[in-house]
Amino acid sequence: MRAKYIATTFYIVFLLVPIYWLINMSFKTTNEILGTFSVYPIEFTLENYATIFTDPTWYMGYVNSIIYTAMNTTLSVAVALPAAYAFSRYSFRGDKHLFFWLLTNRMAPAAVFALPFFQLYSAIGLFDTHLAVALAHTLFNIPLAVWILEGFMSGVPKELDETAYIDGHSFGGFFVKIFIPTIAAGIGVAAFFCFMFSWIELLLAKTLTAVVAKPIAATMTRTASTSGYELGLLAAAGVLTIIPGAIVIYFVRNYIAKGFALGRV
Partner 1 sequence: MNKTENQRGWFFVLPVLLLVAFNAIIPLMTVVNYSVQETFGNNEFFWAGVIWFEDMLQSERFHNALLRQILFTGIILLIEIPLGVAVALTMPRQGPWVSVCLVLMALPLLIPFNVVGAIWNIFALPDIGLLGRGLNELGIDYNFTRQVGSAWFTIILMDVWHWTSLVVLLAYAGLVSIPEAYYQAARIDAASHWAIFRYIQLPKLKRVLTIAVLLRFMDSFNIYTEVFVLTGGGPGNATTLLSIDLDKIALGQFDLGPAAAMSLIYFLIILVFSWIFYTIMMRNEAQ
Near partner 1 by CB under 8 A: residue from 37, 56, 168, 181:
37
Minimum CB separation of residue 50 from partner 1 in Å reads 20
Residue 181 beta carbon to partner 1: minimum distance, rounded to whole angstroms: 19
Instruction: Name residue 36's amino acid.
Output: T
- Phi first, then psi, for residue 82 (nearest 5°) are -65, -40
Does residue number 57 form part of the binding site for partner 1 (CB under 8 A)? no
CA dihedral 31, 227, 246, 79 (to 10 degrees): 180
Please identify, using beta-carbon distances, which residue of 44 and 100 lies nearer to partner 1: 100
On whether the CB atoms of residues 27 and 45 are closer than 8 A, the answer is yes
Nearer to partner 1, 102 or 213 (CB): 102
Of the residues 45, 51, 129, 241, which one makes contact with partner 1 according to CB under 8 A: 241
Q: How far is the CB of 168 from partner 1 (least distance, A)?
A: 20
What is the sign, positive or negative, of the torsion defined by CA atoms of 219, 220, 225, 229? positive
Residues 97-136 that bind partner 1 (CB under 8 A): 98, 100, 102-117, 119-120, 135-136
Least distance between partner 1 and beta carbon 157 (Å): 8
Distance separating alpha carbons of residues 60 and 210, to the nearest angstrom: 13
Rounded distance, CA 233 to CA 237, Å?
A: 6
Residue type, 25: M
State which of positions 66-95 bind partner 1 (CB under 8 A). Answer: 75, 79-80, 82-83, 85-93, 95
What is the residue-wise DSSP string for 227-247?
TS--HHHHHHHHHHHHHHHHH
Q: Decide whether 18 or 56 has the Cβ nearer to partner 1.
A: 18
Side chain identity, residue 247 = I
Residues between 170 and 229 that touch partner 1 (CB under 8 A): 196, 199-203, 216-217, 220-221, 224
